[in-house]
Amino acid sequence: MENIDLIVNQLPAPTWNRLRMNESRVAVAVPTDECEPKVALQGSVCLNKQQIPRIPGKNCCGCAQMATCPVNGIDFASMPTGMGTEMAQLGEGKRIHLVADAGKSTAAVTLRYDDEQKCYNRLEIEAKPGSELTVFMTYISTASAKGMAAVQTKIAAAKDAKVKLVQVQLLGREFLHLNDVGADLAADARFEVLQLQLGGAQIYNGVRTELTGDGSSFDAAIAYYGRNAQRIDMNFIANHYGKKTDCNMTADGVLQQGAFKIYRGTIDFKNGSAGATGDEKETVLLLSDDVVNQSIPLILCSEEDVQGNHGASIGKLDEDLLFYMMSRGFSESDAIDMMAKAKIEGICRRIEDEETVQLVERYLEGVVKE
């Protein structure tokens, strides 16, 4: 079977090569299947399934006049993403295109994978001025399924648009998951991404946001539950170009049973981003001695009048906290489970969709029983 070797999740400013943290290499199968997404829309959002060919040197759609471009001149093909340019080697993929007009709307996109499926999907989201769109994306398969679920999601948020992207990954134990996100924000636009990475064997996850317009903001929160020798490989990048832009990135997770995790978090204050602020915070709970945890918080600065903070809290469950919880009747294993689930519940509380939250709860009940 043919494989493609990809270099993904590159750190924007490399550190020492000997640390082997600058990027990751992953061998992926050529996508052979199509995963037909189930899409449900509510409010002022519509679906445009039209395939748009990518022609080198031309506009995204290949047309001569931008005015006639079916994606309103937005060059989604060239939009940078967290996992990087090599993701383009996956081909065309199954594409869906959402357009949100002014007003509130929601879209639920469910990608259900069969055993042995190797799929690549693309989702493009065009949020028009003043639109307020929430997109729920769920990746799901049976617990024992294996395969590949590669998904690229690109977001163009116009002035004053608000996009909330909720990605919940509940794949089988042997899945390779590539989750690649790119966003470009106009003035005063806001992009919020909430991610739960719970299933799969190898998870490569990149999110890159270009805070192009003045006053735009980006909020990313991810929670994961690494176990059973999972590899969780993440690359979050916030590029501040506009004045008074703001980003806030948090990663919260648990590692046990030989899991490996790397988190790269970069806040890049570009020249001209005066008054910008950025904050990144990571907490990792280590529940066994055989796990590997790597973290690279990175703040790059080409502008003087900016404020960037980063912090990390990595360690085992505090003995005093364990005693406190046990004094309320929780057994040691229940207390640990509860703390682990708390990381996930922190994100669940921000998901305004009961069905999605219940899906996660049912999945977690299964994990605890494993």
Partner 1 sequence: MAEELLQVRNLQVNVEDKQILHSIDLDIKPGETHVLMGPNGAGKSTLGYALMGNPKYTITGGSIVFNGEDITKLSVDKRAKAGMFLSFQNPLEVPGISLSSFLKTALEQQRGVRIKAWDFRKELRQAMALLQMDNKYAERDLNTGFSGGEKKKAEILQLLMLNPQLAILDETDSGLDVDAVKIVSQGIKTFQEHRNGALLIITHNTKILEALHVDKTHILAQGSIIKNAGPELVEEISKHGFEQFLQK
Residues binding partner 1 (CB under 8 A): 252, 318-321, 323-332, 334, 338-339, 342-343, 345-346
Q: Smaller CB distance to partner 1: residue 307 or 331?
A: 331
Q: Smaller CB distance to partner 1: residue 202 or 250?
A: 250
Shortest distance, CB of residue 313 to partner 1, whole angstroms? 10
Question: Using CA atoms, how far apart are residues 347 and 201, in angstroms rounded to an integer?
Answer: 21
Shortest distance, CB of residue 232 to partner 1, whole angstroms? 19
Q: Smaller CB distance to partner 1: residue 59 or 250?
A: 250
Whether 296 contacts 264, CB under 8 Å? yes
Shortest distance, CB of residue 323 to partner 1, whole angstroms? 5
Number of neighbouring beta carbons within 10 Å of residue 200: 28
Bridge partner residues of 251 (DSSP): 222, 282
Is 1 buried (19+), middle (13-18) or exposed (0-12) by CB count in 10 A?
exposed
Shortest distance, CB of residue 346 to partner 1, whole angstroms? 5
**C-alpha angle 183-60-4 in degrees, rounded to nearest 5:** 75
Contacts with 71 (C-beta within 8 Å, 6 or more apart), sequence order? 48, 52, 60, 61, 97, 124, 126
Q: Smaller CB distance to partner 1: residue 49 or 328?
A: 328
Shortest distance, CB of residue 332 to partner 1, whole angstroms? 7
Shortest distance, CB of residue 252 to partner 1, whole angstroms? 8
Q: Smaller CB distance to partner 1: residue 162 or 341?
A: 341
Q: What is the SS3 assignment for 356?
A: helix
Handedness of CA 313, 314, 319, 325 (dihedral sign): positive
Whether 360 contacts 170, CB under 8 Å? yes
Question: Using CA atoms, how far apart are residues 308 and 266, in angstroms rounded to an integer?
Answer: 10
Shortest distance, CB of residue 342 to partner 1, whole angstroms? 3
- Nearest CA to 177 out of 230, 125, 136 is that of 230
Query: CA neighbours within 13 Å on the CB side: how many for 296?
Result: 23
Shortest distance, CB of residue 178 to partner 1, whole angstroms? 28
Question: Using CA atoms, how far apart are residues 234 and 311, in angstroms rounded to an integer?
Answer: 17
Q: Smaller CB distance to partner 1: residue 62 or 346?
A: 346
Whether 69 contacts 63, CB under 8 Å? yes
Q: Smaller CB distance to partner 1: residue 229 or 321?
A: 321
Q: Smaller CB distance to partner 1: residue 252 or 280?
A: 252
Q: Smaller CB distance to partner 1: residue 31 or 226?
A: 226
Shortest distance, CB of residue 307 to partner 1, whole angstroms? 22
Whether 84 contacts 111, CB under 8 Å? no
